[in-house]
Each structure stands twice: as structure tokens, then as C-alpha cells.
């Protein structure tokens, strides 16, 4: 087998592979002989069909089958011989497939880029420093009470924010009732954001038994395109106004959160512990996001088009799943341009992380994987069940190993990076921030 390599442009490589005719012909003859022993052709006894008939009947298909297998096997032989690392499947162009002639084909593909690790000491990290104080705990306890409020007491006053209304309404656009714009005896909590902007605000002050017309305009990006940007009127009839009732801070309430004894002090301690866990996680994620952004800034990576295309398909699938789509949605209807920038970021970061893992010889050892699973399980009421589930699920274990490797990459970078502290409050520390694209440690 002869192999020649040409670097056409960037990451693209063109392999010209020549396979001796004997390799093709001998395999074709072998298969035709096997076929001759089994073939059933009218006018001939089994096993007695002349080879000339076998070749005429089955020769072309046997050769095509052999050529396909030879291309597959010789391609991988060739890339190993030339120390190439293909990123995706090749485009194959056969040159000649005649009997007795050497078989030649050209395989065009992209290779993974070679990455020279940058200077981690140029990466600047601002680590948030915060603590959970009593005021934070008090606010969280009130939030938990609000999440468990009930609606039992009807009121005669005008409706206020957080009140629950029972109402019926009919919506019209230009005087015409439109589909999906009406409801009977539905319950709505004012301020919940369940309805389009302006609807709930328009019902503030309404009393039971009152009819009120609310005028709103559908958002320009409303999911139903035929309603987007249009002005509408809703004639609303309110039958009930019910004020919220917050639960008492008592043993019954504490038990909902797994605190069966110790009273309010034990409950505060449990709330504080969970808030501290959330704070620690938020700080870790903030640092990780800054590290990943820093890695992208200090590396310029050529990205194989095949990997970007594959990542775009992954993002498309995630988008369909996120919006509740299924097999009825054709993913190709989502333009690739919507995902291209995010795909480039994710792939480039994955390649950089993979190179750090390889160069620094990082390993997700069993002890580290177990420690991470135990850390995650601590947030559940039955931690051991969570641990057992992970340990018995190889796919989940692999995902944990990837996260462990990412944490080791972060620690590796932090060892050289310029790290300073940034004092902030608990609420500031846990506030969502724009996260970089996720790295994939096993990109290769």
C-alpha cells in the first residue's frame, strides 16, 4: 500500500492511497468461491455452478463490497502510518476499480489542531469572597414561607400583589375573539408573571364581583406569531379575591424541610447549611467560568469544521428538548447560524481543556470521583441512595469523571494565574452570571 499526504489548507489533509490489485482481486476471488459453494441458480446443481457464471452474476457486487471494506481498513492503516488524527469522517473519491489494476482513492478530511499551551500566569481571576449572615438567613426563611403560602381567606378589598383571583375573561383583537384568549373560572396570582405583560397589573385594585377591561399589547417576540405585537382587550369578570396566608414557623413547617426536631434553631441551621452550600458552589462556578474565559483568551485554536457541525447538531437537539419538542420537529429548520458562535466556543474550549489534561497527565481517579459524588449527594435527604445510583450507572460516572477532570484543569490554571479576592454579599455572589461554553475534557 502506497500513501502520500498533502496539506491542502489549514487543518485539511488529502491522502492518496494506492492498494495493490492483488489485495483486491484475491479477496474478491475468495468471496466468489464462497458464493459458488452456496449459490442456487436455475439449471445448475448446488456447488456446480461454473465460476464464469458466478463472476458474471456476482462479480460486480462482490468487488464493490470488497472495495468498501478495503477503503475503510486502509484509511485507518494510512492515518496511523502517517500519525494523523482525523477530526470526523473523510470524503472519499475512488480513482480506479478495474480488474487487475491497482486501486487508488483520495480521502480528504480535517485533523485535530496542534495546541501549544499558553502562559497561564497572564490569566487574571477575581475570586468572590462572601459569607452567609443572619439577615440572609432571615430573608431566605421568608422566601420559603412565601413559596409555601396558601389561599383560603376571601377579602372584600381591592386586589393587591400576591392575591389570588378567580376570574373569567374573553380576549379580542379589533373586536374579534381570538383562539386561546378566553378562560372560565381560572385562578391567577397577581405578580406571578403568568400572563403577558400588563395583564396582571391591569387587575390591581379589582374587587370580587367586578368586571374590568384590561388593554395590553402582545410582545413582539410572542410565541404565537399571529398575535405578536398586536393590541388586545380582555374583558375580565372577577368572582373571588383571596389573600395569601404565610405558614407559621412551627414544627409542622420545619418538617417539610426534613427538620423533625430542634425547633427554629435547628431549622435556621439547616437553612444556613444549604445557603452555604449554594454559596460555595456559586463561588466555585464563578472562578471556573473566569478560568475558562481566560483559557480561550490566551489560546488561538483552529477548529475543524466537522467538530463545529457536530456541535451545532448537539445544540439543536438541546434546543428542541428545551422547548418540549419531539420527533415532529425537524432540527434542520433551526438555522445553523443560531448556534455557530456558541459551537465554536464550546469546541475550542473543549480542545484546550483536552490538551491540558493530556499534557499535564491529569487523571480522574476513583477517590476524586467518589468524593464529588458524595458532595453532590449531600444536598439530598437520602444521600446514600444518590451515591449508590451514581456508582451503578456507568454513563453518570463518566460524566462525573469529566467534571473531576475539569476541576483539575481549573486547579492547574489557578496554580499559575493571578488570583485576587473580591468582597461581595451573599446575594451578589449567587447572582447568575453569563457562563462560558462548557468544556468537554474528552473532546478527542
Mean pLDDT of 138-163: 95
Rounded CA-CA distance 179/175 in Å is 13
Q: Kindly state whether residues 276 and 395 are assigned to the same domain.
A: yes
Mean pLDDT of 207-214: 96
Q: Kindly state whether residues 106 and 175 are assigned to the same domain.
A: no
Note the pLDDT of residue 34: 80
Q: How far is CA 291 from CA 287, 353, 355, 362, 414, in A?
A: 6, 11, 15, 17, 8
Q: What is the pTM of this model?
A: 0.75
Percent of all residues in the chain with a pLDDT value above 90, rounded to a whole number: 70
Mean pLDDT of 133-156: 95
Note the pLDDT of residue 65: 87
Mean pLDDT of 90-118: 87
Q: Is the pLDDT of residue 214 over 70?
A: yes
50 vs 280, higher pLDDT: 280
**Does residue 76 sit within a domain?**
yes
**Does residue 232 sit within a domain?**
yes
Q: Residue 196 belongs to a domain with what CATH number?
A: 3.10.50.40
Mean pLDDT of 338-343: 92
Note the pLDDT of residue 443: 42
Is 221 in contact with 198 (CB distance < 8 Å)? no
Note the pLDDT of residue 229: 94
Note the pLDDT of residue 327: 57
Name the helix (H) or strand (E) containing 118.
none
Q: How confident is the model at residue 259 (pLDDT cuts 50, 70, 90)?
A: very high
Note the pLDDT of residue 422: 95
Q: Kindly state whether residues 418 and 272 are assigned to the same domain.
A: yes
Mean pLDDT of 73-77: 92
Note the pLDDT of residue 98: 67
Q: Is the pLDDT of residue 264 over 70?
A: yes
Q: Kindly state whether residues 63 and 168 are assigned to the same domain.
A: no
Rounded CA-CA distance 145/248 in Å is 8
Of the residues 214, 245, 276, the one at which a domain ends = 245
Rounded CA-CA distance 298/294 in Å is 6
Lowest mean pLDDT among 46-55, 62-71, 391-400: 46-55
419: domain range? Answer: 120-133+256-430
CB within 8 Å of 83: residues ≥ 6 apart: none
Note the pLDDT of residue 442: 46
pLDDT tens track for 114-124: 999 999 999 99
As given in the structure block, the three cell numbers for residue 438 are 462548557
Q: Residue 289 belongs to a domain with what CATH number?
A: 1.10.3120.10
Question: In 158-246, where do the E strands start and end?
Answer: 164-173, 176-189, 211-217, 231-245
Q: Is the pLDDT of residue 315 over 80?
A: yes
Q: Kindly state whether residues 328 and 403 are assigned to the same domain.
A: yes
As given in the structure block, the three cell numbers for residue 196 are 403577558
Mean pLDDT of 141-148: 94
Q: Is the pLDDT of residue 439 over 70?
A: no
Q: Kindly state whether residues 319 and 373 are assigned to the same domain.
A: yes
How many domains does the chain contain in total?
Answer: 3
Alpha helices in 39-157 (DSSP H): 51-81, 134-147
Please provide the average confidence, as pLDDT, over all residues in the chain. Answer: 90
Q: How confident is the model at residue 440 (pLDDT cuts 50, 70, 90)?
A: very low
**Does residue 87 sit within a domain?**
yes
User: Could you say which DSSP state residue 439 is in?
Assistant: P
Q: Kindly state whether residues 226 and 358 are assigned to the same domain.
A: no
Query: Rg (Cα) of the chain, in Å, rounded?
Result: 33
Q: Kindly state whether residues 354 and 210 are assigned to the same domain.
A: no
As given in the structure block, the three cell numbers for residue 152 are 383560603
Note the pLDDT of residue 35: 78
Q: Kindly state whether residues 129 and 187 are assigned to the same domain.
A: no
Q: How confident is the model at residue 341 (pLDDT cuts 50, 70, 90)?
A: very high
Rounded CA-CA distance 203/212 in Å is 8
pLDDT tens track for 179-199: 999 999 999 999 999 999 999
Note the pLDDT of residue 51: 80
Note the pLDDT of residue 228: 92
Q: What is the dihedral of CA 137, 142, 147, 153, to 10 degrees?
A: 160
Note the pLDDT of residue 201: 96
Q: How confident is the model at residue 329 (pLDDT cuts 50, 70, 90)?
A: low
As given in the structure block, the three cell numbers for residue 64 are 464493490
Mean pLDDT of 87-93: 91
Q: How confident is the model at residue 64 (pLDDT cuts 50, 70, 90)?
A: confident
SS3 content of the chain, % helix, strand, coil (to 5): 45, 20, 35
Q: Kindly state whether residues 219 and 278 are assigned to the same domain.
A: no
As given in the structure block, the three cell numbers for residue 95 are 480513482
Neighbours of 163 (CB within 10 A): 22
How would you label 388-401 residue by residue, b for 16+ Cβ within 10 Å and e otherwise?
eebeeeeeebeebb
Q: Kindly state whether residues 39 and 66 are assigned to the same domain.
A: yes
**Does residue 140 sit within a domain?**
no
Mean pLDDT of 337-343: 91
Strand partners for 216: 232
Q: Is the pLDDT of residue 146 over 70?
A: yes
Q: Is the pLDDT of residue 276 over 50?
A: yes
Note the pLDDT of residue 324: 62
Rounded CA-CA distance 282/276 in Å is 10
The dihedral through the CA atoms of 39, 40, 43, 46 has a sign that is: positive
Mean pLDDT of 46-56: 76
Note the pLDDT of residue 45: 67
Note the pLDDT of residue 97: 62
Amino acid at each position: 500500500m502506497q500513501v502520500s499526504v498533502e496539506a491542502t489548507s489549514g487543518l485539511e489533509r488529502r491522502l492518496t492511497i494506492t492498494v495493490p490489485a492483488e489485495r483486491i482481486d484475491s479477496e474478491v476471488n475468495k468471496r466468489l468461491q464462497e458464493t459458488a459453494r452456496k449459490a442456487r441458480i436455475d439449471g445448475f446443481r448446488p456447488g456446480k455452478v461454473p465460476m464464469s457464471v458466478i463472476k458474471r452474476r456476482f462479480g460486480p457486487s462482490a468487488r464493490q463490497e470488497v472495495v468498501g471494506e478495503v477503503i475503510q481498513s486502509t484509511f485507518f492503516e494510512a492515518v496511523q502510518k502517517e500519525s494523523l488524527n482525523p477530526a470526523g469522517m473523510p470524503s472519499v473519491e475512488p480513482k480506479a476499480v478495474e480488474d487487475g489494476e491497482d486501486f487508488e482513492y483520495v480521502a480528504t478530511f480535517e485533523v485535530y489542531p496542534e495546541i501549544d499551551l499558553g502562559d497561564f500566569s497572564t490569566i487574571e481571576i477575581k475570586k468572590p469572597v462572601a459569607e452567609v449572615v443572619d439577615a440572609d438567613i432571615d430573608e431566605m426563611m421568608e422566601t420559603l414561607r412565601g413559596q409555601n403560602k396558601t389561599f383560603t381567606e376571601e377579602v372584600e378589598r381591592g386586589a393587591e400583589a400576591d392575591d389570588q383571583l378567580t376570574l373569567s375573561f374573553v380576549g379580542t383583537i379589533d373586536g374579534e375573539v381570538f383562539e386561546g384568549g378566553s378562560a372560565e373560572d381560572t385562578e391567577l396570582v397577581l405578580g406571578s408573571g403568568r400572563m403577558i405583560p400588563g395583564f396582571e397589573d391591569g387587575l390591581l385594585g379589582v374587587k370580587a364581583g367586578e368586571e374590568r377591561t384590561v388593554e395590553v399589547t402582545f410582545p413582539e417576540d410572542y410565541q404565537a406569531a399571529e398575535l405578536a405585537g398586536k393590541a388586545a382587550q380582555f374583558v375580565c369578570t372577577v368572582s373571588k379575591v383571596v389573600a395569601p396566608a404565610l405558614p407559621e414557623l412551627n414544627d409542622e413547617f420545619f418538617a417539610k424541610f426534613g427538620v423533625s426536631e430542634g425547633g427554629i434553631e435547628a431549622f435556621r441551621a439547616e437553612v444556613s447549611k444549604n445557603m452555604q452550600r449554594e454559596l460555595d458552589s456559586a463561588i466555585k462556578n464563578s472562578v471556573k467560568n473566569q478560568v475558562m474565559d481566560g483559557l480561550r483568551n490566551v489560546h488561538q485554536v483552529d477548529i475543524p469544521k466537522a467538530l463545529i457541525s457536530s456541535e451545532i447538531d448537539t445544540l439543536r437537539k438541546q434546543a428542541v428538548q428545551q422547548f418540549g419538542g419531539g420527533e415532529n420537529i425537524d432540527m434542520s429548520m433551526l438555522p445553523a447560524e443560531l448556534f455557530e458562535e456558541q459551537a465554536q466556543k464550546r469546541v475550542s474550549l473543549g480542545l484546550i481543556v483536552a490538551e491540558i489534561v493530556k499534557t499535564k497527565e491529569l487523571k480522574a481517579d476513583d477517590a476524586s470521583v467518589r468524593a464529588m459524588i458524595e458532595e453532590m449527594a449531600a444536598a439530598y435527604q437520602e444521600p446514600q441512595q444518590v451515591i449508590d445510583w451514581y456508582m451503578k450507572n456507568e454513563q453518570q460516572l463518566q460524566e462525573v469523571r469529566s467534571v473531576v477532570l475539569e476541576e483539575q484543569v481549573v486547579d492547574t490554571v489557578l496554580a499559575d494565574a493571578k488570583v485576587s479576592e473580591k468582597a461581595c454579599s451573599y446575594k451578589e455572589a449567587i447572582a447568575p452570571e453569563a457562563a462560558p461554553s462548557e468544556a468537554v475534557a474528552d473532546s478527542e
